[in-house]
Amino acid sequence: MRYRASGGLLILFGMLFVFSCSYYSLKGSLPPHLNTVAVPLFDNRTPEFGITENLTDAVIDEFIRDGSLKIADRSAADVLITGSIISVNDRAGAFDQQETVQDIKVYISVQVECTDQVKRQAMWNERITQFGSYDPAEGPDGRQNAYEEAYAKLSQEILNKTVSNW
């Protein structure tokens, strides 16, 4: 009889663990009134062309992939993420013995504000800098790949700050 009771408790705790984990993974730690997000086109304060569309798309895609907030129009969204690309810098990363550049890092800095539109208050406001790397021998395609890497890192950081800042 004692073994039957402890086995039943073990099953009960196991079920509670499974159900609590599945619920947590669906919504994260967001308050229940936050269900949708809008990401208008980022501003561009740099001379670089086309980066605002690519970064904005990367952020939207990251929220779609995550699924904790659904994409909505700006006027209907519970959360609003606005941002400005404030700088893009290329820096030599690694040199070989002949002092030839082997690796270039493209740093992108973005000022981002995340607002709870339901409660009309800022959730967070930060300057975020991320980078992507490329081999200069790859030319323009390598640089574009470095941009894509930086966009992915920026969008992941924006998502994480938004959904787990609670």
58 in Cβ contact with 152 (< 8 Å): yes
CA 10 vs CA 14, 18, 19, 56: distances in Å: 6, 12, 14, 47
Share of the chain above pLDDT 70, in %: 80
Mean pLDDT throughout 50-54?
95
Condensed to tens digits (0 to 9), the pLDDT of residues 79-107 reads 999 999 999 999 887 777 677 777 899 99
Residue 43 pLDDT exceeds 60: yes
As a CATH number, domain 31-163 is 3.30.160.150
Return the domain boundaries, the chain.
Answer: 1-29, 31-163
> What b/e string do you get for 31-50 counting C-beta neighbours within 10 Å, with b at 16 or more?
eeebbbbbbeebebebeeee
1 — pLDDT class (breaks 50, 70, 90):
low
Share of the chain above pLDDT 90, in %: 68
Lowest mean pLDDT among 94-98, 109-113, 131-135, 137-141: 94-98
Q: What is the DSSP string of 7-23?
A: HHHHHHHHHHHHHHHHH
42 in Cβ contact with 60 (< 8 Å): no
Residue 108 pLDDT exceeds 80: yes
Looking at residue 164, what is its pLDDT?
86
35 — pLDDT class (breaks 50, 70, 90):
very high
Residue 22 pLDDT exceeds 50: no
Residue 117: phi and psi, rounded to 5, are -80, -20
Residue 38 pLDDT exceeds 60: yes
Predicted model pTM:
0.80
Looking at residue 24, what is its pLDDT?
43
Looking at residue 7, what is its pLDDT?
52
